[in-house]
Structure formats: structure tokens, C-alpha cells
A = this chain, B = another copy of it.
């Protein structure tokens, strides 16, 4: 399977936000994530980088202190 793990970059550290993410949809300044198990999450963040071969999605918060 080719899903990836989503990490949120906080204070220069990566926190695991969701495992096995299938869908990523930026909308209204937020990021909607959906895992292969149907778990859903929307977070005030933007995509910083994707590394698909490494199965990594790196997000960074758009509003400091809001998460």
C-alpha cells in the first residue's frame, strides 16, 4: 500500500498526526486528511513537503498556538 504518514511540525519537531493517509485535500486554509481506515481529520495547517517514497507528509500549522 502506498499511503503515507502525516506529521505536524511543531517547534521544529515532527509529531505524528495520522497514520496511513490516503487522501489529502487543502481547503479554506486547512488540510483535510483521510486514512485508509476512514479516519478523518481537518487541521489548520499547510503542506510543507511530501516525500512519497519515504511515505511522509509534513504539515506546518498556519496559526501559532491554535493547535
Contacts and interface: CB of A to CB of B under 8 A. Distances in A.
A51 B23 contact: yes
A2 B49 contact: no
A3 B50 CA distance: 10
Per assembly, the copies of the chain total 2
Contact of A3 (B3, B46, B49, B53): B53
Nearest to A53: B22
A17 interface: no
A39 to B, nearest CB: 14
A46 to B, nearest CB: 7
A3 B52 contact: yes
Nearest to A23: B51
A50 B24 CA distance: 5
